Structure 1
Amino acid sequence: MPQGWIVKALSGYYYVLPEQANLHTKAVIQCRARGVFKKRGISPLVGDQVIYELTENGEGTVTEVLPRTSELIRPPMANAKLAVLVFSVTEPALNLQLLDKFLVHVAHSGLDALLCFTKYDLLDFNSSEQNEELKSKLHQVFQLYETIGYEVVITSAKRKQGIEEVSKRLANTISVFSGQSGVGKSSLLNAMNSNLDIETNAISMKLGRGKHTTRHVELWPLENGGFVADTPGFSQLDFMEIEVEELSSCFKEFAAVAEGCRFRGCLHLHEPDCKVRDGSTEGNIAPSRYENYLTFLHEMKNRKKRY
C-alpha cells in the first residue's frame, strides 16, 4: 500500500502527501484514520509517516502509523528534527523565562534548537541612548546563548536579514517553528518562501501581544527540500510530561558541571558541594538561567503536589 506524510490534521481529517509527490502540486489526499487507532490510544500527528489506502470516493484511510523519530506534545508534531524558537527583540518584548521554558521542552523532546530573534529592524528607527542601551543588552543575551552552545540567528523579515542563514539550516529536514504569539513566525516563513502567503496579523498594542493567526499545525514546503510546521502561538507551557529529576539535564550548561556534585540526582537547591549552585555564584552559569531553573523546579513540585 502507498505511503505518505501527514501535512495537516483538521476536524478529524488527515491530509496525506504521497511519498513520491511534490507538495507544490498540492497533491494531498484527504484521509480518515482507522478506528483501531482510537482503541490503541494512538493519535496520528502532523509529520507522521503513514501507510494509507485509497477509497472509492477519491479520499483515503490511514491504516498504519510508522515509527516516529521524535514527538512533541505541544505543538502536537512528529518526526521533527529541529525546533526553531522564534522570539522578537521588541513588540512583544523578549521574555527570557519563556525562552528557557521552550528550551527545556525542546531538550526533553530530543530536538536540536535554533534561536531566531526577529524584528531587529524595529530597533533602528532612532539612535537614542535608550535604544542603544537596549541593543547592548540584547547582544549580551545573544552571546550568552551562543556561549551555552545554542545556534543564534538575528533576523528581520522586512530587511531579509538572516533569512538565507535560517533557510540553509532548514534544508532537507522537518522543522517546527514555535514561539510566543505575534513574534513574527509567519512573516519569517513568508520571507523564506513568498509563495506560502501564510496569514499574518498586526500586534495588538493595547494587549501587547499578537492575535493567534495560525490555528492549526501544518507542514509547509521550502524550496531547499525541507518542511516546516508553523504552529499556533501560545504564551504558556506546563511541565506535565517532564519529571523533576529530568529538569537539570534540560539545561545544557548544567550538564558539564553537575557531574561534580556530591550527590547523584542533585536538584541544585540546598545540597552541599553542588557545583551548579557554585557555578551560578561564581558567574560560570548565568544568574538568569539558574533563577529560571529554580522557578521551573518550584512550578513542577507544586504540580506534583496537586496531582
Structure 2
Amino acid sequence: MNLPGKEGTIIKGYSGFYYVLSEGTIFTCSLRGKFRQKKMEQTFLPGDRVVISLLEGDKGVIEEVLPRKNELLRPTIANVDQALLVFSLTSPDPDFALIDRLLLFTIEEQIEPILIWTKSDLATEECIEKAKESFVQGQIKQVIVSAETMNGIEAVKNLLRQRITVLAGPSGAGKSSLLNALQPGLALKTGEVSKKTGRGRHTTRHVELLHLSFDALVADTPGFSTLNLPALTAPQLGELFPEIVDLMGQCRFNSCLHRTEPDCAVQEAVEKGLIHQRRYESYLLFLEELINQDRRKPKGRKE
C-alpha cells in the first residue's frame, strides 16, 4: 500500500535505484513507470528534490521531480548552495591559476565559493598570509583549517549546516581528510602526495551526497588539475571577478576590457593596490585565452 507523498533529496543513484533522504531517513526508491518510458528524458541527479510515495519499510517510489535551481555538469549534481574550494597551504603548494578558474566556474553558476586552506599545521604564518592576500579584495570567504589539530573545523561545520555543498580542488589537497575531521568515523580513503610529481592520487570515484550528522549534505568530487574556461565572451569575463564588478561603469568606455584602454578604473585600482596584481594577471591571462578561442572559431561561409 502506498502512503501519502513526502519530499526528499536524492543523495545517490545506483543500479536503477535512488536513495532519497527525507526527514532524517534514507529511502531506497524506484521510478514510477512514466519515468521509465523511453520517450521521457528526465534525468535524476544527486541533489534533486523529489516527491516520493512510501511503501513498506524504507522503500519508496519517486512520483515527481521538483524544479532545479541549478545543475552542474562536473560533478553532475543539482541544487548546489555553495562550493568549498579546498587547497593545501603546502605539500602540495597552492595552484593559484586553478583556484582562479574554479572561482570563475562557481561564480558563473551563481554558486557561492568559499576557499578552504588546509594543512595549516604544516604552514608558516607568512605562507598563510601569502595564500590569503590576493583574494581579500574580492571578498571571497576564506577559512584556515587543519585536519590534524582540528583548527577551523567548527567554522566549516557552521558553513555546511542545512546546505548542499560540493568540495572541489586538486588531489592531495586534503578533501577526504577534511571530511573525516568533520565527521569522525566517516573513514573516507585519503590520498598520499607523490614525492616524484608533488601531486595527490585520486581517492574519490563517483558523485554521492554524504549525509553528515550535523544536518549537512556534501559531495566529495573527483580531483582534477586542469579546467577549460566557461563558455564566455571577452566582455563577460570581468563580471566573474568580484573585484572588477565593484568598479563596473567607472571606466571611460562602456566596452572597456581593462587591458590597455585609457582612463580604466580597473587598471587604476591595480596601480593603487586595491586589486591584487596576481588576480589582475589571471584576468589578463583568461582574457587572452577567450580572445584566442574566438579567433579559432570557424567563420560561416558567405553565400
User: Cα offset for 1:115?
Assistant: 0.9
Whether 1:150 and 2:149 are equivalent positions in the alignment is no
Rounded Cα–Cα distance in structure 2 between residues aligned with 1:204 and 1:60: 45
Pick one of 172, 194, 205 that aligns with 1:204.
194
Question: Does the 8 Å contact 2:270/2:276 carry over to 1?
Answer: yes
The residue that corresponds to 2:301 in the other structure is none
| In structure 2, C-alpha distance between the alignment counterparts of 1:288 and 1:13, rounded to whole Å | 47
The 1:31–1:231 alpha-carbon spacing in structure 2 relative to 1, beyond 3 Å, is farther
Question: Which segment drifts farther, 73-82 or 183-192?
Answer: 73-82
Partner of 1:15: 19
CA distance in 1, matches of 2:63, 2:257: 44
Name 2:28's counterpart in structure 1.
29
Q: CA contact under 8 A between 2:11 and 2:208: conserved in structure 1?
A: yes
For 1:6, the equivalent position in structure 2 comes to 10
Residue 114 of structure 1 pairs with residue 114 of structure 2: yes
Distance 1:64 1:255, change over 3 A: same
Distance 2:74 2:238 in 1: 20
Q: Which residue of 2 aligns with 1:239?
A: 229
Q: Could you tell me how far apart the structure 1 residues matched to 2:71 and 2:36 are?
A: 22
State TM-score, norm by structure 2.
0.85
Q: How many residues align?
A: 290
Q: Which residue of 2 aligns with 1:84?
A: 84
**How far did residue 262 of structure 1 move?**
2.0
* Alpha-carbon contact 1:258-1:274 (below 8 Å) kept: no
**Within 1, Cα distance between the matches of 2:272 and 2:63?**
57
> Is the 1:87–1:180 Cα contact (8 Å) retained in structure 2?
yes
Task: Work out which of the two has the higher radius of gyration on C-alpha atoms and give 1 or 2.
Answer: 2
Amino acid at match of 2:198: G
Provide runs of 4+ in structure 1 moved above 6 Å: none
Partners of 1:10 and 1:216 within 8 A in 2: no
The percent of aligned pairs where both chains have the same amino acid is: 40
Matched, 1:96 2:107: no
- Structure 1 spans left out of the alignment, 5+ residues: 124-131
Instruction: Report the 3-state secondary structure (helix = DSSP H, G, I; strand = E; otherwise coil) of the residue aligned with 2:289.
Output: helix
- 1:69 aligns to what? 69
Q: CA RMSD in A?
A: 2.5
Give the distance between the partners of 1:288 and 1:263, measured in 2 at CA.
Answer: 24
- Decide which structure has greater helix share: 1
Deviation per residue, 1:34-56 (Å, 9 max, x gap): 246x7565432211112346799
Kept in 2: contact 1:6–1:49 (CA 8 A) = yes
Q: Which runs of 5+ in 2 are unaligned?
A: 299-303
How far apart, in 1, do the equivalents of 2:293 and 2:62 lie? Answer: 37
